[in-house]
Amino acid sequence: MAEIPACLADNNILNIMNLKNIKIKLTIIIDNYVNTAGLVGEHGWSLMIENGNERILFDTGADNLLLKNLKYLGFIPSMINKIFI
C-alpha cells in the first residue's frame, strides 16, 4: 500500500496540484437512458470533458449513435482534442 508523504497529509490535494480554480464542463453524449428530445440512448456511455478550449471524449459508446448525438449537442469531431477509450 502506498504511503502519503507527510508534506501532503495536511494539505488539500487540489491546492498542491494548483487545480483549485479549474473549471470543467461534463456533457453526457451517450447513456442508457435519455430524457432529452433529440438525443438517442443506447447501451454504453460517452462523455465530453471540457476545460477551456480542450475537449476530451471519454469513450465512444457501443454503436454508431455518437456522431448523431455529438451533432445534436453542438459538437463536431474536429473540436475533439483527445479520445480516451
Average pLDDT of every residue of the chain: 80
Alpha carbon separation from 76 to 1, 39, 73 (Å, rounded): 43, 15, 9
For the residues of the chain, what is the DSSP string, one character each? -PPPPHHHHTS-HHHHTT-TT---EEEEEE-S---STT----SS-EEEEEETTEEEEE---SSS-HHHHHHHTT--GGG--EEE-
> Left (φ > 0), alpha (ψ -120 to 50) or beta: where does 21 sit?
alpha
pLDDT in tens, 6-40: 554 555 555 555 555 678 899 999 998 888 888 88
Across 2-6, 7-11, 62-66, 76-80, the highest mean pLDDT is recorded for 76-80
